Amino acid sequence: MSHSPHFSEPPKKHLGQHFLHERGIIDGIVRAVSPKPGDRLVEIGPGQGAITFPLLDAHGELTVVEFDRDLIAPLTEAAKSHGALHIIHRDVLAVDFTALAADGASLRLVGNLPYNLSSPILFHVLEHADVVRDMTFMLQKEVVDRMAAAPGSKVYGRLSVMLQAYCHVTPLFDVPPAAFRPPPKVDSAVVRLVPRAADAIGIDDAKVFADVVRDAFGQRRKTLRNALSRQCDAALIEAAKVRPDARAEQLPVADFVRLSNAIAASRAAP
């Protein structure tokens, strides 16, 4: 389906477009999503429809978010023989996913995310995590490695902690550059994110948590005592059962949660 006669648009470099064409990879993504009757599927960045049409064939209905207006008409035309396609022509960072799920149905998100925007998109989607059942995304492999990294790893950082605090992160399979047109200069990977139940997250103040994680990793070489000097003193870090002389990359997610809760509580105290 990737070489549909409806699509004459070449990939746009400034939008970070790389169109997937490798059939085996496309089938692997559809199998990973495994849509069931009643699912509300939303694809971010359908491009020329490489994943869109096989998902439509499997499910019959799909909502897509596409920013490139030149792709709207060909997607609409090509979808007619596959199923009901609902197109939201908007920047994904401006899409209110909570409103999209207003009828109480949880969303299942899918997408080959533009690599230059993957972190902002992930953080934006996290803000709507309570209406999202799961996400199956293709990203730069290096980003997926960071998302799933364990404490102590060289690539464990802000993205790892923020995502793992709110989601279970499972890398599924790697995707070589040759699977795309034009081939990117990097390997890609498909990852599944499943939001945790609200009561399993345990974060008392989401903003304090985000600030603590950002500052802790802001200067990786610094100890927490120094990196978090704007947030709290060493005594409070110790009271939260965290070592002030530790560095951010040594701390498990649970320690960041405990520490940020202690900071939030100290600010709320009279």
CATH code of 257's domain: 1.10.8.100
Same domain, 150 and 105: yes
Q: What is the CATH number of the domain that holds 141?
A: 3.40.50.150
86 is in an annotated binding site: no
Q: Is residue 7 part of a domain?
A: no
Are 167 and 75 in a shared domain?
Answer: yes
| 212 and 158 assigned to the same domain | no
Closest listed residue to residue 136, CA positions, set 21, 34, 19: 34
Contacts 24+ apart (CB under 8 A), 7-14: 7/48, 7/49, 7/71, 7/74, 7/78, 8/74, 9/48, 9/68, 9/70, 9/71, 9/74, 11/181, 11/182, 12/68
HSE, side-chain direction, 13 A CA sphere, residue 95: 25
27 and 161, same domain (yes or no): yes
Count structural domains, the chain: 2
Percent of all residues in the chain with a pLDDT value above 90, rounded to a whole number: 82
pLDDT of residue 6: 59
Tally of CA atoms within 13 A in the half-sphere of 71 that contains its CB = 23
Last residue of a domain, one of 199, 226, 246: 199
Report yes or no on 231 lying in a domain.
Answer: yes
In a shared domain, residues 189 and 130 = yes
Calculate mean pLDDT across residues 60-85: 94
- pLDDT of res. 105: 84
**Which pLDDT tens digit goes with each residue over 235-259?**
999 999 999 999 999 999 999 999 9
147-191 confidence digits (pLDDT tens): 999 999 999 999 999 999 999 999 999 999 999 988 889 999 999
91 marked as part of a ligand binding site: yes
8 A C-beta contact, residue 126 and residue 210: no
Residue 110 lies in a domain: yes
pTM surpassing 0.75? yes
* 233 assigned to a ligand binding site: no
Residues 128 and 242 in one domain: no
Expressed as residue numbers, the domain containing 247 is: 206-268
